[in-house]
Structure formats: C-alpha cells, structure tokens
Amino acid sequence: MFIHWFNNLSNRSLVITILICISLIYVSYTFNSCLITSLGRTFNRNPLKQFFISTSLWPQTSEEANANATTAAFNNSTTNFTSSYNITKNSVQQQQLLRDEIHKKLSPSHIASNGSVSSSSSSSLPHILDGSPKYRLLRQQGSRPSRHLPDTLIIGVKKSGTRALLEFIRLHPDVRAAGCEVHFFDRHYQKGLHWYRHHMPYTIEGQITMEKTPSYFVTKEVPQRVHHMNANTKLLVVVRDPVTRAISDYTQAASKKTDMKRFEDLAFVNGSYAVVDTNWGPVKIGVYARYLEKWLHYFPLSQLLFISGERLIMDPAYEIGRVQDFLGLKRVVTEKHFYFNATKGFPCLFKSEARSTPHCLGKTKGRNHPHIETAAIERLRDFYRPFNNKFYEMTGINFAWP
C-alpha cells in the first residue's frame, strides 16, 4: 500500500516530503544535543562525580587529571602552611620540641665562630635545616642558632647545690647552659667577651643562655665586671647552712688529698675551739652577708634570687618552680621529673638534657661527711649566727639555719 501511495506522488510532492523529513531529523538531533550537554554540566557540579572518580568508575581525560592533581597539590600545600602557622603561633610545646631537635642535630662544625651557619658547611646542612617544613619555617623567621653572652648566672655558693640547680633547670627546653664552669669573670677576664661568648651554647630566639661558676659570688672584682657586661643580668645564688657547707667543702678537698688534717684542726686557731680561723676558705665563704654587700652595690635585690640548698634537696620541684618564675619561664619542670634516692639522700632525675633514662647527678653528689666533734660544730654555729641574721635581713628570707 505504501509503495502504491509513493508511486502516485508527483515529483513536487516527493521533494516536499523529503525536506520535511530532513527538518524533523535536524530538530530532533539539536534538541537531544542540548539536553545531553545540560545534563553533563549538572552532573559535573554534583558530588557524585567525585565519588565515581575516586572509585575509578569515571574516565578522566589527561587535562582533567592534570587539573585535579594541581588542585590537590595546592590544597595540600595550603593545609601544610596553615598547620605550620598554627604550630608556630599556638603550640609552645611544639616550638620547644623543635628547639630540642635543632640542638640535637646541629654540631659546632656546622656553625661559624660568629654564631651563623658558615658558607663552607651550608651545603652539608640541607638534611638538618631543609629536611622538613618545620626547619624551613624557622629559617624563614630568622631563627638560626647562634651564641650569646649569658642572660643568667649561677654565681654561688660553692658546695651549696649549684650543680644540682644547673642540671635541674636545664631540663627546661628554653634554657641552654654551658656544661662546665667557665670562670671568665674571675680567671679569664683579660681574654675578653668574644672569648666568653665562644664558650656559650648555641641558642635560638626565645631561649635563655646560662652559665655557672660558684666562685663568682666570693670574688670581689666580679660584681663590677658582670655589671659592665650587662646590667640586667639575672643572678641565682644557692645558699645552705654555712656550717654544713664548710664540712662539705672540706670533704671534697679531703677526697683528693689523703694526708689532709682534720676539719677541727683547720677550722680553729691553735687547736682550740675558742678562735675560729676566718682565713680558712671553707669557713670564710660562709659569711654570705659580707659578699652580698658587694653585689648589691651594682645590682638591685630584685635581680637576685636566693635558693635554699636544703630545700633544693628535699623539694626540688618547689625551688625550680621559683627559678622558672624568676626567669619568666613557663613551669615546665615539675615534680614528675624527679625521684628521691634514699641511698644517696639526694634527688635524682628521670631524664635530663644529656640522658633520657633515670639517673643521679654523680658519685660526688650526696657524699658522706666525716664525723666532726659536736663541740666544734656548736662553736661554728655561734660564730655564724650574727652573720646569718644579717643575711636574713638583707635578703628578706629567713632560712632558719641552726
């Protein structure tokens, strides 16, 4: 029937019919193309596409893959920068740990004598300073390690607990101290401040440089010399009962000299307990008020902190807390860092700057004292009593020594 109808059509009608069919096909194709494009755009903005991509169900062109990689890298970089910034701004503990890491990894050979990283060795430092974003961030902030003159001095008193104080306060990540007694102000002053600075540890911004030499307290030239270096220097003084201190001083000397005379023979004149030998070093040092007067000529009392040697042994966390407050430090070192060794009768450390395992300060700490006659001890207490009372008045602290 269709063929019969087609044969009956005139040529004109045939042409019209063909054109109508072509038009219908074109309109249908255009409509479908627009519909597909619109659906594609809607799907691109839909989170489902990311799901399909992440599960490898959506094919990606090379351009899309490159664009996605670039976007991910930018997002990761932004996240890393934000994280580093937040660590620097808000996390004091992270900064303190970072400072410790720098000091563990840096050696003096990496750093020039003026405190900066030398050009000759800078090529060997990428694994230290450029190994992670943390070190790059510190370097961008100008936090390269360098040597500085001390901000704080432990000036005395000998055999009162100065070594214990130094080791305890060095647990704080913001305190760096010279390991040995430098004796600059009493023995090596003529060598100059450049020599002194060279003996200080490397520090970064925000850390305190500290040095301990107990003989500074009793050397008459030292107060003026320290004031000349820095009038704002903070001074730490550990004191203990002068009688006990004198016996401890004698015990240390006797351990190095086997033929040393008895304590009683050295502390008194002519073998009688009537006259105390004030020229003998262990006795002379215990007259604290005499030496403090010289220091107060150059420094206000507010720049000196007096630490009880007895309490430093019995309650180290308390005294170290006072020291941290005095130095303007956060109280990081607490009772959790200490344990008491009943055998030595001395506090020991669960960890320290040099060692991460529990240990005591050394064999010389907590050394047993020789027997001293009671009459000699009582005579020395009578001798020191007026000087002790004057010292209490000068410091505003009653140490309650016998």
Q: Is 144 within a domain?
A: no
Q: Is 288 within a domain?
A: yes
Q: Is 296 within a domain?
A: yes
Average pLDDT, the chain: 78
Range of the domain at 172: 149-395
CA distance to 219, 235, 387, 401, per residue, from 392 (Å): 21, 18, 9, 10
For residue 105, what pLDDT band results from cuts at 50, 70 and 90? very low
pTM of the predicted model, to two decimals? 0.66
pLDDT computed for residue 363 by the predictor: 63
292 three-class SS: helix
214 CB burial (10 A radius; 0-12, 13-18, 19+): buried
Q: How many domains does the chain have?
A: 1
| Separation of alpha carbons 17 and 25, rounded Å | 13
Q: Is the pLDDT of residue 129 over 60?
A: no
The CATH number of the domain holding residue 280 is 3.40.50.300
Cis peptide bond upstream of 275, omega within 30:
no
**Using the 8-state DSSP alphabet, how is residue 329 labeled?**
-
Is residue 89 annotated as a catalytic residue, yes or no?
Answer: no
Q: Is 54 within a domain?
A: no
Q: Which residues contact 222 (CB under 8 A, 6 or more apart)?
A: 155, 185, 186, 216
Question: Are the beta carbons of 338 and 348 closer than 8 angstroms?
Answer: yes
**Which residue type, as a one-letter code, is found at position 388?**
N
Q: Is the pLDDT of residue 249 over 50?
A: yes
Q: Is 99 within a domain?
A: no
Specify the range with the lowest mean pLDDT, choosing from 119-133, 174-188, 381-395.
119-133
Q: Is the pLDDT of residue 125 over 50?
A: no
Q: Is 94 within a domain?
A: no
| Separation of alpha carbons 249 and 258, rounded Å | 15
Question: Are the beta carbons of 316 and 333 closer than 8 angstroms?
Answer: no
Which residues fall in the annotated binding site for 3'-phosphoadenylyl sulfate?
159-163, 240, 248, 365-369
Q: Sheet containing 234-239: which strands, arranged edge to edge?
A: 175-177, 208-212, 152-156, 234-239, 304-308
**DSSP string for 201-218:** PEE-TTPEEEEE-GGGGG
- If you average pLDDT over residues 180-200, what whole number do you get? 97
pLDDT computed for residue 38 by the predictor: 61
Choosing from 159, 212, 220, 330, the catalytic residue is 159
Q: Is 37 within a domain?
A: no
| Separation of alpha carbons 142 and 136, rounded Å | 10
* Comparison of pLDDT for 367 and 16, the residue scoring more: 16
The alpha-helical segments, DSSP class H, found in 230-347 are: 242-256, 263-267, 281-284, 288-296, 309-314, 316-326
Which residues fall in the annotated binding site?
159-163, 240, 248, 365-369
370 three-class SS: coil
